[in-house]
Amino acid sequence: MFSSIYFGKISKEKTERLLELYGKEGSFLTRDSESEPGAFCLCVRRTPFVHTYKISLHHGGWAVKTPPGVKPQCFETLNDLIDRYRAAAHDSMPPLLHPLEKRLVSDDGENSELMYLEI
């Protein structure tokens, strides 16, 4: 699951544009964190915003960043983390309903328009 929704090194602005153009309420994707090398961002569309949650290694497991004093729930793999939050989102996280798969979106360059590919 993780690899199909992983868009790599794209900006916050491009992420928001992708989810606005091709997503719907509950659509989500992952990308590299712009502020923390080795971390990822889980981005979820909940109109009128795109909510972003940082995912990083925490004591040997992958976890969504939590507020100070709150123990994060760790997962062995990124797939396990995504599957868990798809099954039952955290109280503050919008439901992960519709994965935005990278293979369905074509980007031919930074200045070109994005295109949705029907399969």
Report domain extents, the chain: 2-116
% helix / strand / coil in the chain, to the nearest 5?
Answer: 25, 30, 45
- At the top level of CATH, which class does the domain 2-116 belong to? alpha beta
What is the reported pTM? 0.84
The backbone region for 59, taken as left when phi is positive above 0, alpha when psi lies in -120 to 50, beta otherwise, is left
Task: Dump pLDDT digits (tens) for 56-92.
Answer: 998 889 999 988 888 888 999 999 999 999 987 666 7
Task: Dump pLDDT digits (tens) for 8-39.
Answer: 999 999 999 999 999 999 999 999 999 999 99
- Grade residue 107 by pLDDT with cuts at 50, 70 and 90: low
For residue 102, give the nearest of 22, 38, 13 by alpha carbon. Answer: 22
